[in-house]
Amino acid sequence: MPMIETINLSKRYGDLVALDNLNLAINQGDCFGFIGPNGAGKTTTIKILATLLKPSSGQAMIDGLTVGYQNRQIRPLIGYVPDFMGAYQDMVVTEYLEFFAACYNIHGAARKKVVQDVLDLTDLNYKADAEVNSLSRGMQQRLSVARVLLHDPKVLLMDEPASGLDPRARVEMRELLKELRRMGKTIIISSHILPELADLCNVVGIIERGQLLFNASVAEALRRARVGHVLHIAVAARHADAATVLSKVPGVSKVTVQEGQGPMIQGAATPLINVQFDPAVKLDFSDIPNVLVNNGFRLTQFTEEPVNLETAFMRLTKGMVQ
């Protein structure tokens, strides 16, 4: 049985369809990256799973329990991290965590221990006596994660946890999430920072206008997004001639030249030749440098264009892959 499951889940606001028959199945221990533009339905889905919104139709289940009917049993199983936490005035970090631990009926020595444990896990020990509203955005997000870990939930629902963070804070958040995954938590993360999702998640879902366009492993997303190999090539001189030679190579479907995008030679950026191959053609690229060298060209760059999660997202949402 999946840890998280939705069956034809829909949410409507009058004539506006925020979520349209969403079907998901996320297994225990999965880290699921939820990708989509603003207004696609990510936050709506997460709030329904967090028991904060009622669906218009369909079902959502956490560990076999149905959202809307068994909310009291579901809430101890989940931790919800919104994209922005509200700071409590004049409350220090330790008091903030002890307050929420008490809300989870954790008392006495057990409360002090669990608060210390989550401070250690989120590396907030040195801010234990700082006021919550004095913390940076990144530290507040880590505190928000610490808060939802107090009761050791099975499922973490994280809505844009890296939103607004500086590069260092994003790295720290990513390492924290990796540790939570190693602990066996089932995690849903919605995010626009796609390279980080590829590093964190084993499964991704792409949603647009309330409809799920893709739901599979990261590896499958990358495989489907590869619509023909693309090589980036630069030569020391006679760039236009090199492009002509490459256009005659069997299997090449398109050759373009980008001025000033190649390696620097004598203080100036050289042109970059982009060679696109027919997707149906299986090639051994080792012959391409030989073709150029045999025609008198000196090769200065030869790389294959990588397909990353951002590429996959753009191509899948534009309907460029089957």
Shared-domain flag, residues 191 and 295: no
Shared-domain flag, residues 247 and 272: yes
pLDDT band at 322 (very low <50, low <70, confident <90, very high): very low
The tens digit of pLDDT for each residue in 7-33 reads: 999 999 988 999 999 999 999 999 999
The tens digit of pLDDT for each residue in 172-214 reads: 888 888 889 899 999 999 876 676 677 788 898 888 888 988 8
* C-alpha torsion 247→251→254→260, nearest 10: -60
CB 157 within 8 A of CB 99: no
Cα R_g (the chain), whole angstroms = 25
Of 46, 320, 22, nearest in space to 191 by CA: 46
In a domain, 201, yes or no: yes
Per the DSSP assignment, residues forming a β-bridge with 155 are 78, 186
CB 277 within 8 A of CB 287: no
Q: Is the pLDDT of residue 38 over 60?
A: yes
Q: Is the pLDDT of residue 96 over 90?
A: yes
Residue 154: C-alpha distances to residues 27, 50, 77, 146 (Å):
11, 13, 5, 14
Shared-domain flag, residues 146 and 277: no
Shared-domain flag, residues 214 and 142: yes
* C-alpha torsion 59→60→63→65, nearest 10: -60
In a domain, 127, yes or no: yes
Give the CATH number of the domain where residue 297 resides: 3.30.70.100
Give the CATH number of the domain where residue 28 resides: 3.40.50.300
For 76, the 3-state DSSP assignment is helix
Q: In the chain, which ranges are E strands?
A: 4-13, 16-26, 31-35, 57-62, 65-66, 78-81, 155-159, 186-190, 203-208, 211-217, 230-235, 252-258, 264-265, 268-269, 272-277, 299-304
CB 229 within 8 A of CB 283: yes
How many structural domains are present in the chain?
2
Phi, psi of 44 (to 5 degrees): -60, -45
Shared-domain flag, residues 115 and 244: no
Shared-domain flag, residues 257 and 217: no
Task: Summarize the confidence of residues 66-77 as an average pLDDT.
Answer: 94
In a 10 Å sphere around its CB, with 0-12 CB exposed, 13-18 middle and 19+ buried, how is residue 250 labelled?
Answer: exposed
Q: Is the pLDDT of residue 101 over 90?
A: yes
Shared-domain flag, residues 192 and 140: yes
Check residue 314 and give its pLDDT. Answer: 66
In a domain, 321, yes or no: no
In a domain, 17, yes or no: yes
